[in-house]
Structure 1
Amino acid sequence: MKKADTPTKLHIKKGDSVKVLSGNSKGQTGTILRVLVDKQRAVVEGVNMITKHVKPSAANPQGSLEKREGTIHISNLMVVDPKTNEPSRTGRKLNDKGKLQRFSKKSGNFV
C-alpha cells in the first residue's frame, strides 16, 4: 500500500501542451495553467469552461457571471509531443547529464 504523505509523480506539469482525451472538451488542446497534485486534477487554458457567479463588491457593485477554466482529471489528459504535435505517452530516462527527464514514447525526443 502507498503511504498517504508520499508525493506522486505525474505525467504532466505546468506549462505542458496537452490534449483532452475524454469528456465534454474531448479533442481540444491547451496549455496547463495549474496542477492540483492532491486532487489529481489540472486546469487547462481555454478548456472545460464553466460559469462562475461573482458576488457584488465595492469594486464591482453589480456582480457578474464570469467564464473560467474548470479542472480536469489528469487521466483524461495526454502530453502533446512538441516535435510531431501529436499526443504521446511519456516515460522517464537519464539524459546526458545523468538526470531523469521525460521523453515521448512515440518519437523518443525529450519533452
Structure 2
Amino acid sequence: MSKLHIKKGDTVYVNTGKDKGKTGKVLQVLVNESRAIVEGVNLVSKSTKPSAANPQGGIVKQEASIHISNLNVVDPKSGKPTRIGRKREGSNGPIVRYSKKSGEEIK
C-alpha cells in the first residue's frame, strides 16, 4: 500500500465524473479503499428511518466516497489543481508535501 497524496482538511479539485470541475474540502480519507469523502461532491440520496436526531425520517442527501485518482490537491498559491511532491526539510527534518506547479509547501 502506497502513501496517499491527499489528507483530511485538504481542498481538492475533482478531475472526472459527474462532479467534474468542483472543489471541496476533504472530510474523511478511507485509506484501505483509496477513497475520500469530499464536502458537497458526489451527493447521493439516502432514505433514513425516523430517529432522535432526525425525527421526520425521509430522504437525506449526503456525500458518498470518490476515488482518490479522480482528485487533485488545489495549489495554495494559484488556486488551480496541482500534483504533489514530497521532500525532506533539511537533512533530518520532517517530510513536507509541496505543489509541483508553484513549489509552495502544502500545510
TM-score where L is the length of structure 2: 0.90
Structure 1 residue aligned with 2:89: 95
Aligned residue type for 2:68: I
Q: Could you tell me the percent identity over the aligned residues?
A: 58
Structure 2 residues not aligned, in runs of 5+: none
Report the Cα distance in structure 2 between the residues aligned to 1:75 and 1:22, rounded to whole angstroms: 9
Q: CA deviation at 1:87?
A: 0.5
User: Structure 1: how far apart are the matches of 2:54 and 2:29?
Assistant: 29
SS in 1 for 2:2: coil
Secondary structure at the counterpart of residue 9 of structure 2? coil
Q: How far is the alpha carbon of 1:63 from its aligned partner?
A: 2.2
- Following superposition, the deviation at residue 17 of structure 1 comes to 0.3
CA distance in 2, matches of 1:59, 1:50: 19
More strand by share: 2
- Distance in 2 (alpha carbons) for counterparts of 1:48 and 1:79: 17
2:6 is matched with which residue?
A: 12
How far apart are 1:33 and its partner, in Å? Answer: 0.2
Work out the CA distance in 1 between the residues paired with 2:81 and 2:89: 22
Instruction: State the aligned residue count.
Output: 105
Alpha-carbon shift at residue 59 of structure 1 (Å): 6.0
Matched residue, 1:86: 80
1:64 matched residue in structure 2: 58
Q: Could you list the runs of 5+ residues in structure 1 that have no partner in the other structure?
A: 1-6
Q: Which amino acid aligns with 1:39?
A: E
Flag as ranges the 4+ runs of structure 1 deviating above 2 A: 56-63
Q: How large is the RMSD of aligned CA atoms in angstroms?
A: 1.6
